[in-house]
Amino acid sequence: MTETAYLENGRTIEYLPEPIGEGTMKEVYFTQDRESVLCFYKGDINKIDPKRLERLRDILKKFNPSVGDKKHADYWAKLFCWPTGIIVKPRLGVITPVYPSNYFFASGRWKGKEKKARWFVSPKLRQLLPVEEQGSWINYFKICIILARAVRRLHTEGLAHSDLSDNNVLIDPASGQALVIDIDSLVVPQIFPPDVDGTPGYIAPEVLATAALRVLDTRKQLANIRTDQHALAVLIYEYLLSRHPLRGPKVHSTRSAEEDEQLSMGEKALFIEHPQDTSNRPKEGLPIPVTALGTTLTELFYKAFIKGLHSPYERPTAYEWERGLIKTWNMLHPCPNPKCTHQWFVVLPEENTIRCPFCQMAIHQPIPLLTLRSEKRPGHWLPEGQLVIYHGQRLFKWHVFDNVFPGPDVDREPQAYFSFHHHRWLLINQTLTSLTSPNGNRVDIGKALELKAGVKIRLSQEAHGCFAEVSMIGGV
């Protein structure tokens, strides 16, 4: 027995009459082939939101990056579960593809359940999952980059997701992939307002602080791009550090837990790692402080949770997060301890001893660090970024050229690799046609160059080619 739904474009779809899920706004059904789901709005949506149909039409076409950006359509299609059609009968709704199979647990007690991010960021829940589902820390790092990129893509179009949370992002830590879901409530400022205030824990403080005000009250703050930026920062902090940035011990009301929570996440929200005001710092201490993630990310988190916490326009943009995460990715080093829970860590070059913050194991030999410089004005070579070198590290085009950004369409072919060979650090050229040694000689493809402190290497003589300056760090 199936029922029939009618799409706006005239198509009909057979679906199974038993609902498979229910949210605040929608009721969800499988199509007969189980390859898509139908989400019907509950109640009289036209009364709640008369512009809903218009909004859906825009979301499906105008705002869909897989339609508007043909070149990267496949890339964006993997990051968003975008609706594919509008249902007009029996009720208004959308049809969306079923999530790819890697977003459902393949084994364990919760086999078949969606991999909502909550399962992975809560230490209590994570330990209940099969080990193979838990994923490695570097994959959470990858997920952060993907998520920042996905949110950046929405924001570039002027769209806000409006309800980014551990509930509306599916992640697969085993493969390091993420999928943004619940796209149909996208918000366009001044045109399509948000449906909901958001999900507890991810709602921006200004929205929570004014949540009790009536809809027409002009002081009421609604979800928008800045509130997405808050939620994004919370998610990134949770993925990398497995804790919530604002949930500390500080009590703001003894009247009730509900009132205390309202203040702790809203008006009185305070970063648990605020360097001056330590009143919300967990009493048991923090196993890994945010500073272990390096200066770039520390600054972004301070901007998000100190300066920008109550000043929405000061929050880092999704693009800043994407850049900052990629910059920090270049600072990752494998942990020498095979039993380390995290396996990778961020190198802090200013420390005398390079040490994994997760297991405390130190690396006692000095390791090379490349400082990449690009010619911003003729004759002016300014630092572009840094790259930590380890055995097997590779050099990509975005390291070689200052005008290449590791975005969706970048060439991911390694240009050279690094090797620790007979107690020497070597750079081995794979494809670079004008790699130049410090004494001005070309280094041919297949040939190596030794990395020593102070050595300057021209990675390419072509336009936008960078210099790499070697320093040896740590070793104490």
Partner 1 sequence: MSIRRLPVYLLLDCSSSMTGQPIEQVRQGIRALLDDLSTEPMAIETVYLSVVTFNSTAQQVILLTELMQFKEPQIQASGATALGAALRLLKDCLNKEVRKNTIDQKGDWKPLVFLMTDGMPTDSWEAAADDLKQQKIANIIAFAAGPGADVNNLKRITEIVLKSDELSPGALKAFFKWMSQSIVRTGKSVQVMAQETPIDLPPPPPQIQIVP
Based on the shown chain and the rule CB under 8 A, indicate whether residue 269 belongs to the binding site for partner 1.
no
Based on the shown chain and the rule CB under 8 A, indicate whether residue 26 belongs to the binding site for partner 1.
no
Closest C-alpha among 159, 277, 172, 290 to residue 233: 290
Based on the shown chain and the rule CB under 8 A, indicate whether residue 125 belongs to the binding site for partner 1.
yes
Based on the shown chain and the rule CB under 8 A, indicate whether residue 214 belongs to the binding site for partner 1.
no
Task: Report the distance separating Cα 188 and Cα 196, nearest Å.
Answer: 14
**Nearer of residues 125 and 191 to partner 1, judged by Cβ:** 125
By CB under 8 A, which span of 45-53, 219-227, 253-261, 301-309 interacts with partner 1?
Answer: 253-261
- In angstroms, give the least distance from the CB of 254 to partner 1: 5
**Nearer of residues 163 and 402 to partner 1, judged by Cβ:** 163
Cα 3 to chain centroid distance, Å, stands at: 39
Based on the shown chain and the rule CB under 8 A, indicate whether residue 91 belongs to the binding site for partner 1.
no
- C-alpha dihedral sign at 427, 430, 434, 439: positive
From candidates 265, 309, 356, 388, binder to partner 1 by CB under 8 A: 265
Based on the shown chain and the rule CB under 8 A, indicate whether residue 381 belongs to the binding site for partner 1.
no
- In angstroms, give the least distance from the CB of 131 to partner 1: 18
Task: Report the distance separating Cα 11 and Cα 28, nearest Å.
Answer: 19
Strands (E), 66-214: 85-89, 93-97, 169-172, 177-180
- 427-442 in b/e burial notation, b at 16+ Cβ within 10 A? bbbeebeebbbeeeee
Task: Report the distance separating Cα 28 and Cα 95, nearest Å.
Answer: 10
- In angstroms, give the least distance from the CB of 50 to partner 1: 23
Based on the shown chain and the rule CB under 8 A, indicate whether residue 249 belongs to the binding site for partner 1.
yes
From candidates 194, 201, 294, 324, binder to partner 1 by CB under 8 A: 201
- C-alpha dihedral sign at 472, 474, 475, 476: positive
Based on the shown chain and the rule CB under 8 A, indicate whether residue 261 belongs to the binding site for partner 1.
yes
Instruction: Residue 200: count other Cβ atoms within 10 Å of its Cβ.
Output: 12
236 and 260 Cβ atoms separated by less than 8 Å: no
Q: In the structure encoding, which two tokens stand for residue 173, read together?
A: 């830590």
351 and 374 Cβ atoms separated by less than 8 Å: no
**Nearer of residues 191 and 257 to partner 1, judged by Cβ:** 257
Q: In the structure encoding, which two tokens stand for residue 342, read together?
A: 């995290």
**What are the Cα distances from residue 363, in Å, to 58, 190, 342, 370, 476?**
54, 54, 16, 18, 8
By CB under 8 A, which span of 8-16, 197-205, 414-422, 432-440 interacts with partner 1?
Answer: 197-205
- In angstroms, give the least distance from the CB of 331 to partner 1: 28
469 and 371 Cβ atoms separated by less than 8 Å: yes
Cα 434 to chain centroid distance, Å, stands at: 35
From candidates 44, 132, 259, 413, binder to partner 1 by CB under 8 A: 259
Based on the shown chain and the rule CB under 8 A, indicate whether residue 173 belongs to the binding site for partner 1.
no
372 and 399 Cβ atoms separated by less than 8 Å: yes
- In angstroms, give the least distance from the CB of 145 to partner 1: 24
140 and 119 Cβ atoms separated by less than 8 Å: no
Based on the shown chain and the rule CB under 8 A, indicate whether residue 72 belongs to the binding site for partner 1.
no
Q: Find all residues with CB under 8 Å of 140, minimum gap 6, and list them.
A: 120, 173, 176, 239, 240
Based on the shown chain and the rule CB under 8 A, indicate whether residue 453 belongs to the binding site for partner 1.
no
By CB under 8 A, which span of 181-189, 255-263, 339-347, 443-451 interacts with partner 1?
Answer: 255-263
- In angstroms, give the least distance from the CB of 269 to partner 1: 12
- In angstroms, give the least distance from the CB of 85 to partner 1: 28
Closest C-alpha among 82, 44, 78 to residue 63: 82
From candidates 116, 153, 230, 355, binder to partner 1 by CB under 8 A: 116
Based on the shown chain and the rule CB under 8 A, indicate whether residue 200 belongs to the binding site for partner 1.
yes
Based on the shown chain and the rule CB under 8 A, indicate whether residue 253 belongs to the binding site for partner 1.
yes
Based on the shown chain and the rule CB under 8 A, indicate whether residue 128 belongs to the binding site for partner 1.
yes
Count of residues interacting with partner 1 (CB under 8 A)? 36
Which residues of the chain form contacts with partner 1 (CB under 8 A)? 109-110, 113, 116, 118-119, 122, 124-125, 128, 197, 199-201, 203, 208, 211-212, 243, 247-249, 251, 253-262, 265, 282, 284
